[in-house]
Structure 1
Amino acid sequence: MDFELEMLDLFASEYKWERDRIMNDVFLDEYFMLKDKIEKRNKQEYIKQINIQMLPHMDEKDRKKFLDDLQKDLNKPTQKTDFLSVEQAKTKYGFK
């Protein structure tokens, strides 16, 4: 049940989709791929907002370290989808 709520919350808040669309039109493997894309896009937006708001007031050394840490996190490779676990979750949550 927690997984379903997480999926509903993510797509409802990000795309303003309704429950029926999310539950009927989103495949479980698509959920994981879209979740990664949403998180990456949100991190990019976060970096942009930080540049606008905070960076002009930071010490040069601290600013560089902060941005480098964010960039490292952004450049991390996305996790590979464990398709066996996806299939097990589909069965468990009634997606099959």
Structure 2
Amino acid sequence: MYAIVSTGGKQYKVANGDTIDVEKLDAKPGDTVSLDVLMLNDDKNIVVDKGALFGKKVSAKVLEQFKGEKKVVFKFKKRKRYQRKNGHRQQLTKLQITEIPA
């Protein structure tokens, strides 16, 4: 059994016990958050109807808040002596999926 959930403008395929890294959520470690369900598969049938999925949420436990790895941002214009180097580290939240609705 798995579900497709959406958070932070992205979609993730999750199953019970999975651990995923999502964009930062306003929750402390140990809190429980609920994620919107876009699709549900229980190995027999697939549900994608918005009416059937209305009110169904996937529960996840917040494990930690952390920064992702550094991405290098490099801007360059040839023959103009223009180059800028910058870095970025995205704030992330690690979630463990605890319950998928049946």
* Range class of TM-score, shorter chain: under 0.3
Higher-helix-fraction structure: 1
TM-score by length of 1: 0.27
> Normalising to structure 2: TM-score of the pair?
0.26
Larger Rg: 2
